[in-house]
Chain A
Amino acid sequence: MKTRNDCREWRELLGAYALGHLEGDERAGLEAHLEGCGACREELAALAPVARMLPHADPARFELAPEPPPELGRRIASTIEGEKAAAKQRRRRRTLGGFAFGGAAAAVAAVLILFVFGGGDPAGQPEQQVKFAGLPEGIAIDATLQPHAYGTEIHMYVHGVPSGTLCRVWLRGPNGVSYPAGTFRYRWGDDSDAVLSSALDISRTRQLVVDTGKRTFVAPVNPPGPTATIRQEEST
């Protein structure tokens, strides 16, 4: 029989005790020791959560340690490289579109001055970046509005509200009437944009409204003109 002073030997029984495997005198002796030994009680408290986790595991899977195939890393690198190249090409097309437009204007001996707001596309359709000012610390919201024949497409990015928050979105016109754009849930870890749409034309949109349940955030939408505002001056 172990003595009360032999702490190390008692302690080495704590694993079996935490798993519910100690019986009889050994169990009674350890419990008596625990009453008088704070260090062993602390050690038991540290082991207990681990013991509670054991039932969740499937021992048949202990030997299975699947490794990703060697080509997976290369495939991911190649996908990212492809996306980067495509984005670069899109930017180049936008730039070339702007130059071609300016060149055509020069041909009629006029002076064109372009003021570009936001990122326009070659067709002159303005895409609008919407910024929410004065947001509480830790919350970020931004959006991009894209014009369509049916109304306005909205790419929403929300970050910092509790995961699972239901977000409702509207566009508000000049007369204060709101047009619903849809709902989405913010999920922590999912950083993709929510894509929504509203029937309100972008040219008539004055505000973007996001309701997160507890709070409502409103951002102004600039009165849109064409992407490029063109002022023509007569040459003298």
Chain B
Amino acid sequence: MIQLGTSTRGALSRERDVREAYAAHSGELYGFAVRSLGDAGLAEEAVQETFVRAWRAGDRFDPKIGSLRTWLFAILRNVVIDLGRARAVRPAVAEGGIEPSVEPLDEALLAWQVEEAMRRLGEDHRRVLVETYYRGRPYAEVAEELGVPEGTVKSRVYYGLRALRVVLEEMGYED
């Protein structure tokens, strides 16, 4: 089960609350929108529609059910579905080398979470995970390239996974 966000806030019925919510969450929402829609213009549209819907329904936000971040992602998910349906009648155009996601939306959300968490890792940790796991390179080869003992690559993989877990937890992931 993927949970997003742990912080709780008040309603979004005031414009100041929307501004604060935008400052806190727009980057992630936009990143996921681009990931899902593969189009920067559509992603902007999706994020705008998300905050406008959130503002309209601000007094209905209930922090006892979930965090503001979770609520905004839930709204964005519906907006992305709506935009995806609208786009189904016209061809997709990728921008800036970003290919539109073809995964089901929940899979795209999981993928985006891991990718965002990897971006937040330190360079040393991300590097060893990319080289050993994603590129499937032997530890000895990676160690030689980095100029460190093979044991150090293994320990970096361990601390990298630990760090990744911490980042995912900060993002609201619960297993």
The answer to whether A49 and B26 touch across the interface, beta carbons within 8 angstroms, is no
The answer to whether A68 and B47 touch across the interface, beta carbons within 8 angstroms, is yes
For chain B, the count of residues having a C-beta within 8 Å of the partner chain is 62
The answer to whether A50 and B168 touch across the interface, beta carbons within 8 angstroms, is yes
Residues 5-56 of B contacting A (Cβ, < 8 Å): 15, 18-19, 22-23, 26-27, 30-31, 34-35, 40, 43-44, 47-48, 51-53, 55-56
| Given contacts A15-B158, A56-B110, A80-B52, A21 and B35 within 8 Å (CB-CB) | no
| Given contacts A57-B114, A66-B98, A67-B30, A76 and B18 within 8 Å (CB-CB) | yes
The answer to whether B114 and A53 touch across the interface, beta carbons within 8 angstroms, is yes
- Closest residue of A by beta carbon distance from B152: A12
Interface size class of A (residues with CB under 8 A): 35 or more
Q: How far is the CA of A18 from the CA of B74 in the complex (A)?
A: 32
Min Cβ gap A33→B in Å is: 14
The answer to whether B119 and A62 touch across the interface, beta carbons within 8 angstroms, is yes
Among A57, A66, A79, A159, contact of B118 (Cβ-Cβ < 8 Å): A57
Question: Quick check: which of A120-128, A183-191, A200-208, A215-223 contacts chain B, the rest being far away?
Answer: A183-191
Among B43, B47, B57, B160, contact of A15 (Cβ-Cβ < 8 Å): B160
Interface string of B150-163 (1 = CB under 8 A from A): 01001111111110
Q: How far is the CA of A134 from the CA of B34 in the complex (A)?
A: 44
Min Cβ gap B148→A in Å is: 13
Interface string of B44-74 (1 = CB under 8 A from A): 1001100111011100100001000001011
The answer to whether A21 and B139 touch across the interface, beta carbons within 8 angstroms, is yes
User: CB-CB < 8 A to B74: which residues of A?
Assistant: 188-190
Q: Does A100 contact B (CB under 8 A)?
A: no
Q: How far is the CA of A68 from the CA of B159 in the complex (A)?
A: 32
User: CB-CB < 8 A to B40: which residues of A?
Assistant: 66
User: CB-CB < 8 A to B129: which residues of A?
Assistant: 54
Interface string of A36-76 (1 = CB under 8 A from B): 00000000001101110110111101101111110011011
Which residues of A come within 8 Å of B, CB atoms? 11-16, 18-19, 21, 46-47, 49-51, 53-54, 56-59, 61-62, 64-69, 72-73, 75-77, 79-81, 83-84, 159, 187-192
Which residues of B come within 8 Å of A, CB atoms? 15, 18-19, 22-23, 26-27, 30-31, 34-35, 40, 43-44, 47-48, 51-53, 55-57, 60, 65, 71, 73-75, 77-78, 96, 98, 107, 110-111, 113-115, 118-119, 126, 129-130, 132-135, 139, 151, 154-162, 164-165, 168, 175
Given A16-B158, A50-B168, A189-B71, 4 additional A-B pairs, CB 8 A: A61-B115, A66-B40, A77-B15, A81-B15
